[in-house]
Amino acid sequence: MDYVIHLIILVLLYSIVAVSLNLLVGYIGLLSVGHAAFFGIGAFGSGLLAYYLKVHFLWGMLFGAVIAILAGVLVSIPALRVKDEFLVLLTIGFNMVVFGFLVTQQDLTGGRWGKFGIPVLSFFGISLSTPAKALPVIFVFSAVCFAISWRLTHSPFGRVLKAIRDDENAARSLGKNILKFKVLVFIIGAGMAAIAGSLWAHYHAYVEPRAFTVAESMFLLALVVIGGSANLWGSVLAAFLLITIPEVLTFIPGAETGMVPISAVRVAIYGALMVAFMRFRPKGLLPEHRAILTKNNMYVPIPAEERDKILQLDGTLSSPSSNGNKLVAPLQVEGVSKYFGGLKAVDNIAFSLPEGKITALIGPNGAGKTTIFNLITGFLKSDGGTISLRGLNITNQPPHRINHLGLVRSFQEVRVFSNMPVLDNVLVACGRQRGEQLGWLFLRPWKVAQDERENRYRAMAYLDIFGLAERAKILASELAFAEQKLLMLACLLATRANVLLIDELVSGIDPGSIDRVMSLVRQLKNLGKTICIIEHNIDVVKNVADMAYFLSEGKVIAVGTPSELMANPELTKIYFGV
Amino acid sequence: MGILLAQLAVNGVIFGALYALLGLSWNIIYGTTSIFHFAHALIFVVAAYAAVLVTMNIGLPLVVGFMAAIIAGVSLGWVIELSIYRPLRKLGASQTIIFGASLGTLILGEAIAHIVFKPFPRRLLGFSIQPINIGDITFTTLHAGTVILSVLVILAVGQYLRRTKSGKAIRAVGSNAEMAEALGIRRERIFLLVFAIGSGVGAIAGVLHTLDSVANPYMGIPLVFPAFIVTFVGGVGSISGVVVGGLLLGLAENVSLAWLDKDYTIMISFAILLAVIILRPRGLFGSKRD
Amino acid sequence: MLLELKDLEVGYSKKIVVHGLSMGIDQGEIVALIGHNGAGKTTTLKCILGLLQPTRGKIIYKGGDITGYSPADKVRHGISFLPQERFIFPELSVRENLDIGAYTVEDDAESTIERIYQLFPILNERARQRSSTLSGGERRMLGLGMILLTKPQLLLLDEPSLGLAPVLVKSFMEMLKNIREEFGTSILLVEQNVKQAMEIARRVYVMKMGRIILEENASTLLQRDEWWDLF
């Protein structure tokens, strides 16, 4: 019986670590192959502190968690800025360094052979030295860790994580501070693994470096991947299967005689499973959960008057871009340049957007139009010049901050968060939410729930305007292409930004839907938004734009109404050569 | 101290040669295919055991052992590419999934090696190892042989890539795969070719390492990690990079022994990797790729 | 008809970029394909070469259906493609780039490359330099040189004048005419610079939102005025 309980405890501990890794891998898409290092830091930190200072294991756990979090911060600084291949190497290297440290510091850690005599788990003086006695405590810790992870991922915060994983730049343009989220999840994952490590140390009353090698990290990754990334129950299930089933194998006759090395067979099994899953069922055992806080009644369309009320309310809300002096242009670009090597992509450009109108940027290929959008929204650093939003200098500010100030953009390639439902896509866009901040999320959940209800109502209103209310529940990847474009516009509206930059309004849309898109853009204008579009379809420009700037080779050549520009033979020559 | 440093430097060059060879074996695959071929670690294991079986168990000369190792290594490389990477590519799998499959293959492969070959270290004999003394510096004939063979192999591969039609095709695919296809180069065939070359060179490196050490089922990862570091430090797709990167790593690890304990060596490699990632992500000789 | 496209439909994941496209090119003809950005011109060219597979429709070349062929096979059948961007191997030298171009040449690649040097003397001067050091115009020449080496019977060019100074564009177009006259090569030319394209083309197709909206003789089209309406 003790043996069974011991197995359950192992499953619980590995579940915590796997769940903590899933936060990194499944929710942010950070492929860490060194997570066992945090497990080990927690185990050694906690065990050694309790051993040397003779303190209660909870102090040890706190100590271990703090060290793990500090290490996590240090590792995250390079790790979050580099591409995937480097991240893999960095995390492996980190694991090896920690392992190396544990092995070399013999006096402190007991070196390769580890340290015996770690104080056992205890509560109120009672020593929990048998599996049966330790189980309740370990179960409680596991449940709490799982609950915290659950809350984190099934919340507005978790929604942002998935958005970041699906399309980082789109999330950035919708106002999310990517770095902050990634670092937070990294250190939460590290801390949680450390807590499991501490329990491990005090349960076994012994720590050894061998339990925290790169091979262990690979096992943890296998658990996450096989269980299903972004599915917490999946990680628990995988831990259960991959720990208990190999144990069952030890009861096969022949195992005793050592003919077949059981430990290697175990490893072969999970290696084979990992390959098989990647090849045939990459989503893992349990697929990613779809929506956050699924309550089906939340997807009900709302009546038209309610919707209009919401839009009116939006119109009165203040943001720097709507609040400021109406005499100053919503967006002003002065003397902005951008060089790529020797190439002048944008050459000392100056223009401004008129209030409440639709302005088009037109011109031949390579004129620098998208580059300008990138410069305005902070996706590229400019080599000179000023960009101001209602008088506020926003030159070279990061994209998420520019979003908060009331300017938002769309991308040439349609970027929606494919693995999330349509409604959730719009919710991500609904500005800074309390539910995205950890403090509110854990300390005042009722406020977060209230905000969420209001936001959902609003989001349904936006979807309604674009005719997508019926599609609220389905995954964004299942929408037709034209619908995805409309979803993207709905997200722009949801940000309540007053200045909208739309890159390629109708490209790729079937001719039948173009009229609909054009009328919706006009509706946006009627709501008081200032809009700038890049468009190559001349019909659309004539139909929709009040004014246009003609760009060529990075310079503004002319400005006027579309008809004026098209009647200008100079421009016709530049564009067509005739 | 001067003599100690000189000895360590010589050791550094010897290690550097092997690291360069390891780096070359992985660089040519990653540089051409962009696959993070983690399972490459298995090539070293398979090569080592093939050589051990042929030379120690069967009793044939070491040269035959080398050939068996190369055949085994190339075969395994092809099996992995054809049964895992290519089907996943055809399905349009993401880089993460392909990496996961590679990792799983490595885990599975090591376990199989453990089961089949048993975890006891196997020695590989057949090369007469004599000490060579130059002044106060010593090394062995094996070390000299390793350096010479590494230099020859790297030169040969370098010339092959420079001068032959298929060598240039490999570089073309690594540089701009779409344009290469538009000029008639068959990408899948080139992939097989680089897997063959990379696995073959890796097999040679694996045997050289085993001659100086032992073969065991878990020898793969400690050899593939330097291969990664040398590739990224030297620059993806660069032969000069592989040489300089290998020497840099070898010298740094060995010369540091004058001051640090050998268990700290891993930190040196980590520090170099970190420096490159932060200061010059494209590596010493690499080109700016998007 | 050397090349015939029948009811071609091409898309990327969800987006259908080309709908029901039908067009044809005769032996030794220069045909221009014009239209606004995003109209589907590049997609059409890539599909002809096989870099993209059509979801519907057929590509008939010299009477045979080559729709499913790989790019490598199509090149060996005489079709060649010069993309709008990223059409050289920047880490390789100019000469090495040309060597790649000559990959499908069975024998005597040397003298074939000599002819390219005669066409573009500047490439001979810079033969040993890394091709990343070439200017925009020189790169275009290198790109064209590379695909000419494949001895194409059908040349697909995607906005070859992009980024070239006007005087270079003129000589470039002259060169295309000469290539057609000397080798009998057919050319399908995608261009935004409409005038230049139509000065050497015999026929023009106008594409808009993924469909052909007009097919006319170049000379007739040149007389027109409402360019903006076509785009």
DSSP track, B243-271 = HHHHHHHHHHHHHGGGTS-GGGHHHHHHH
Residues A108-129 pLDDT 10s: 888 888 888 888 887 777 787 7
Which residues in chain A are closer than 8 Å to B266, comparing Cβ atoms? 93, 96-97, 100
How many domains would you assign to chain B?
1
Q: What is the mean pLDDT of chain B?
A: 92
Between CA A419 and CA A474 the distance in angstroms is 10
User: How far apart (Å, rounded) are the C-alpha atoms in residues B39 and B48?
Assistant: 15
Enumerate neighbours of A (3 or more CB pairs within 8 A): B, C
Most confident of the following: A161-165, A228-232, A246-250, B12-16: B12-16
The pLDDT of residue A544 is 93
A537 to C163: CB separation less than 8 angstroms, yes or no: no
Q: How many CA atoms lie within 13 A of A169 on its CB side?
A: 12
Identify residues of A whose CB sits under 8 angstroms from chain B CBs.
29, 31, 33, 78, 82, 84-86, 88-90, 92-94, 96-97, 100, 103-104, 214-215, 218-219, 221-222, 225, 260-261, 264-268, 270-279, 282
Which residues of C fall within a CB distance of 8 Å from A415? none
Cβ-Cβ contacts under 8 Å, C72 against chain B = 181, 184-186
> Which pLDDT belongs to residue C185?
92
Per-residue model confidence as pLDDT tens digits over A532-571: 999 988 889 999 999 999 998 889 999 999 999 988 888 8
Q: CA-nearest residue of chain A to C224? A: A578
Q: What is the pLDDT of residue A77?
A: 84
Pairing assessment for the beta strands A547-552 and A358-362 based on DSSP bridges = parallel
Does residue A255 register a pLDDT over 60? no
Test the B interface: residue of C103, C113, C130, C149 with most B CBs within 10 Å: C103
Q: What is the pTM of this model?
A: 0.90
Average pLDDT over every residue of A445-473: 88
- 3-state DSSP of A24-75: HHHHHCCCCCCCHHHHHHHHHHHHHHHHHHCCCHHHHHHHHHHHHHHHHHHH
Residue C195 and residue A575: Cβ atoms within 8 Å? no
What is the interface size between A and C, counted as CB pairs within 8 Å? 58
The answer to the question of residue B221 being in a domain is yes
Q: What is the pLDDT of residue B125?
A: 83
Asked whether residue C3 carries a pLDDT value surpassing 90, the answer given is: yes
- Partner A contacted by C104 (CB < 8 A): no
Residue A297 has pLDDT above 70, yes or no: no
B257 Cα to chain C: minimum distance (Å) = 38
Instruction: Name the band, by pLDDT with cuts 50, 70 and 90, for residue B264.
Output: confident
pLDDT interval class at B5 (50, 70, 90) = confident
Indicate the residue of C163, C195, C231 with minimum beta-carbon distance to A577: C195
> Is the confidence at residue A293, as pLDDT, over 70?
no
Are A575 and C192 in contact (CB < 8 Å)? yes
Q: Of A130, A113, A195, A171, which Cα lies nearest the Cα of A416?
A: A171
Per-residue model confidence (pLDDT) at position A571: 87
Q: Under an 8 A CB cutoff, do B185 and C100 touch?
A: yes
Domain, as residue range, for B169:
2-279
Smallest Cβ distance to C86: which of B171, B179, B183? Answer: B179
Tell me the nearest-neighbour CA distance from B36 into chain C, angstroms: 21
pLDDT at A34 over 60: yes
Yes or no, beta carbons of C99 and B179 under 8 Å apart: no
Name the residue among A33, A86, A264 with its Cβ closest to that of B277: A86
**Coil, helix or strand for A342?**
coil
**Mean pLDDT of the residues in chain A:** 87
Residue of C nearest to B174 (CA): C89
Tell me, yes or no, whether B289 lies in a domain. no
Residues of chain B with C-beta less than 8 angstroms from the C-beta of C76: 184
- The pLDDT value recorded for residue A316 is 64
Candidate from A364, A511, A578 with C-beta closest to C209: A511
Which pLDDT score is estimated for C196? 83
Percent of chain A at pLDDT > 90 equals 43
Q: Which domains does chain C have, with CATH numbers?
A: 1-78+154-231 (3.40.50.300), 85-151 (no CATH)
- Selected for mutation to probe chain A from C140, C209, C226 (highest A CB count within 10 Å) is C209
Identify all chain C residues contacting B184, using CB atoms and an 8 Å cutoff: 71-72, 75-76, 103-104, 150
For residue C116, pLDDT over 90 is answered with: no
Instruction: Let me know how long chain C is.
Output: 231
Domain contains B139: yes
What type of residue sits at position A178?
I
Taking contacts as CB-CB distances below 8 angstroms, the residues of chain B near C75 are: 182-184
CATH number of B96's domain: 1.10.3470
Distances (CA, A) of A453 to A156, A298, A450: 11, 8, 5
DSSP string, A193-222: HHHHHHHHHHHHTEE-GGGGSHHHHHHHHH
| pLDDT for the residue A63 | 94
A378 band by pLDDT with thresholds 50, 70 and 90: very high
pLDDT bracket for residue A37 (50, 70, 90): very high
Q: For A217-239, how does the pLDDT look when each residue is reduced to its tens digit (9 = 90+)? A: 999 999 999 998 889 999 999 99
Neighbours of chain C (3+ CB pairs under 8 A): A, B
Q: What percent of chain C is modeled with pLDDT above 90?
A: 46
Q: What is the mean pLDDT of residues C42-53?
A: 92
In chain B, where does DSSP find H-type helix?
Answer: 2-33, 41-52, 62-80, 86-90, 95-117, 141-163, 165-175, 177-182, 187-212, 220-234, 239-255, 265-279
pLDDT (average), residues A370-394: 91
Question: pLDDT tens across C58-84, in order?
Answer: 999 999 999 989 999 999 999 999 998
Task: Residue A221: name the closest of A82, A85, A35, A69 by CA.
Answer: A35
Confidence band, pLDDT 50/70/90 cuts, at residue A138? very high
pLDDT band at A240 (very low <50, low <70, confident <90, very high): very high
B284, part of any domain: no
Residue at B285 is within a domain: no
Q: State the pLDDT confidence band at A315, using cuts at 50, 70 and 90.
A: low
Helix, strand or coil, per DSSP, at residue B36: coil
Query: Could you say which of A31, A82, A265 has the minimum Cβ distance to residue B96?
Result: A31
Chain B residues touching chain A at CB-CB below 8 Å: 36, 84, 87-88, 93, 95-101, 103-112, 114-115, 118-119, 221, 225, 228-229, 232, 261, 263-264, 266-267, 269-270, 273-274, 277-278, 281
Structure tokens at A406: 């009331």
Band (pLDDT 50/70/90 cuts) for residue A254 is: low
Q: In the predicted model, is pLDDT for residue C104 greater than 60?
A: yes
Taking CB atoms and an 8 Å limit, are C87 and B179 in contact across chains?
Answer: yes
Does pLDDT of A259 surpass 80?
Answer: no
**What do you get for the CA distance between the two ends of chain A, in Å?**
89
pLDDT at residue number A275: 94
Do residues B185 and C103 make contact, with C-beta atoms less than 8 angstroms apart?
Answer: yes
Burial of A252 (0-12, 13-18, 19+ CB in 10 A): exposed
Q: In what order do the strands lie in the sheet with C154-158?
A: C79-82, C154-158, C186-191, C30-35, C203-208, C211-217
Q: With contact defined as beta carbons under 8 Å apart, do B270 and A93 qualify? A: yes
* B-interface mutation test, from C79, C89, C94, most B Cβ less than 10 A away: C89
Percentage of chain A beyond pLDDT 70 is: 94
The model's pLDDT over A474-508, given as tens digits with 9 standing for 90+, comes to: 889 889 888 999 999 999 999 988 899 999 888 87
Contact C17 A508 (CB under 8 A): yes
Give the minimum alpha-carbon distance from A551 to chain C in angstroms, rounded to a whole number. 14
Q: Highest-confidence range of A278-287, B102-111, B135-144, by mean pLDDT? A: B102-111
In angstroms, the CA A425 to CA A429 distance is 7
CB < 8 Å to C90, chain B: 175-176, 287
The reply to whether B147 falls in a domain is yes
pLDDT, one tens digit per residue, over B49-87 is: 999 999 988 888 889 999 999 999 999 999 999 999 999
B242 Cβ contact partners less than 8 Å away, ≥ 6 residues apart: B20, B23, B24, B27, B154, B230, B231, B234
Of C159, C194, C222, the CB nearest to A365: C159
**Predicted confidence band of residue A258 (pLDDT cuts 50, 70, 90):** low
C contacts of B180 (beta carbons < 8 Å): 89, 100
Q: Which of A39-48, A569-578, B174-183 has the lowest mean pLDDT?
A: A569-578
Facing residue for A268 by CB, picked from B97, B103, B115: B115
Could you read off the pLDDT of B107-160 as tens digits, one per residue? 999 999 998 888 888 888 888 888 888 888 888 999 999 999 999 999 999 999
Tell me whether residue B287 is in a domain: no
Ramachandran quadrant class, C15 (left: phi over 0; alpha: psi -120 to 50; beta: rest): beta
Write out residues 134-163 of C within 8 Å (CB-CB) of A.
Answer: 159, 162-163
State whether residue B176 sits within 8 Å of chain C by CB. yes
Please report the pLDDT score of residue B260 as a whole number. Answer: 84
Ranked by mean pLDDT, the top range of A250-254, A281-285, A364-368, A530-534 is: A530-534
Q: Does the pLDDT at position A253 exceed 60?
A: yes
pLDDT of residue A323: 58
> Is residue B290 in a domain?
no
Q: Does B190 touch chain C (CB under 8 A)?
A: no
Is A82's CB within 8 Å of B277's CB?
A: yes
- Find the closest chain A residue to B227 by CA distance: A89
pLDDT for the residue numbered C62? 92
Instruction: Work out the average pLDDT over A88-95.
Output: 90
List of chain B residues whose C-beta atoms are within 8 Å of the C-beta of residue A90:
273-274, 277
B180 touches C at CB < 8 Å: yes
Asked whether the beta carbons of residue A268 and residue B112 sit closer than 8 angstroms, the reply is: yes
For range A176-205, the mean pLDDT: 93
Predicted confidence band of residue A256 (pLDDT cuts 50, 70, 90): low
* pLDDT(B196) > 90: yes
Comparing A80 with A533, the larger pLDDT belongs to A533
Q: Do C17 and A572 touch (CB under 8 A)?
A: no
